[in-house]
Structure 1
């Protein structure tokens, strides 16, 4: 039993290492060890194994690591039949063409949201939305949508585990969630980053549970508060259509 526990722990640590690359492309041994709070000698042994199997590549000139070819091979074998990033892309492109702004798709992962797909605006000045970005659940239109429409037990667990600051209190946040549920959508205006605005709506699966958040974002020079609210009905209809597409 002890050997089994050690084996499982080694797998968990190896996966923790791979997850470090969700935020950075290249990382040193020291940076990885700091992120997962492990001794460098332990991380070095795990990295050697991952490198031998092709899951990471080491740049000998910089002594930094990056994801290897095996990750790409695995991703190519993902089923596209129920992958929302692939399944919903045509509707996202249609919405981008209709509204002229960047369209993003988010899923919740614990206390973060992940941008799993984005269709960039064709405008010369636009908000670039990198796929794979992880963002906190306390700020941003998409974050608030994912929390506002979560199942009551999930929502309570999220609220209990979030870190609150002087920027927004739990009480203020809960009032916002109530308004979002009433409106059916959320907006943010320079809330997460200066110069950016967004409006987001929930995508419900066929069981009625919130599966993702759909957002339209861009610079505040084009997206005034009034414009965000004007976009909302179009966004909600698009989100409904996407919900029908999802299995």
Structure 2
């Protein structure tokens, strides 16, 4: 039984190492060890096993690791027919061209939101949105949408979570959720990071269930509150079109 636990723990650690690459294309042994909070000797052994199976590749010139060919072989066999991140990409690209700002698609996962698709703005100064990035559900325009339009238990779980920030007023957050539900969109200005702003709307499928949050983001000095109010109806119309494309 003890051997079984050790085996499962080794698998968990190996998966943690692979997940380090969700927001970085290449990482050193030291960087990976720091991210997964393990000794470098342990990480080195796990990386050797992953490299042997083709899941990571070590660049001898830089002594850094990157994802290997096995990852792409696995992803090639994913079922894409019902994947909103792929189905909605052309519409997101058209929206980016129309608004000239970065467009992102978020889904909730537990008490976090995950960016599952993004189309970068063509502007020189733009909001860079890495796919796979995780953010807390208690802050940001997309978070408000994902909570406001979710099932009631999602909101209750979030507000009751021990991880809820001590300095964040729950009554104020509930009010923001009510406003988002009433207006059909939510905004944020420098809530999560300085200099960034966003406006988000819900994508509801044909059964009127929440699928994702669709957001436009950019520098706050360009994406002003007035500009976000102008973008909101355009974003809502795009979300309505996208919702009809999803079962």
Same topology, TM > 0.5 = yes
Deviation at 1:6, TM superposition (A): 3.5
Map 1:1-20 onto structure 2 (within 5 A): 1-20=1-20
Is 1:229 paired with 2:235? no
Partner of 1:139 in structure 2?
139
Equivalent pair of 1:151/1:209 in contact (CA under 8 Å)? no
Matches within 5 A, 1:37-116: 37-116=37-116
Alignment of 1:203 onto 2:192? no
By how many angstroms is 1:203 displaced?
Answer: 1.1
Deviation at 1:124, TM superposition (A): 4.1
Find runs of 4+ consecutive structure 1 residues off by over 4 angstroms: none
Change in CA separation of 1:10 and 1:206 when aligned onto 2, cut-off 3 Å: farther
Distance 1:20 1:239, change over 3 A: same
Matched, 1:246 2:246: yes
Indicate if the aligned counterparts of 2:188 and 2:199 stay in contact, CA closer than 8 A. Answer: yes
Distance 1:202 1:104 in 2: 12
Instruction: Verify the 8 A CA contact 2:158 2:164 in the aligned structure 1.
Output: no
Change (3 A) 1:30 1:196: closer
Native 8 Å contact 2:201 2:235 kept in 1: yes
Mapped partners of 2:114, 2:166: distance in 1: 22
Q: Which stretch has the larger CA shift, 49-58 or 102-111?
A: 102-111
Aligned counterparts of 2:22 and 2:107: Cα–Cα separation in 1:
14
Structure-2 change in CA distance of 1:121 and 1:24 (3 Å)? closer
Say which SS state the counterpart of residue 244 (structure 2) adopts. helix
Instruction: Calculate the aligned-residue CA RMSD, in Å.
Output: 2.2
Give me the TM-score of the superposition, normalised by structure 2: 0.88
Gaps of 5+ in 2: none
Q: Matched residues in 1 for 2:243 and 2:150: separation?
A: 15
Distance in 1 (alpha carbons) for counterparts of 2:122 and 2:36? 39
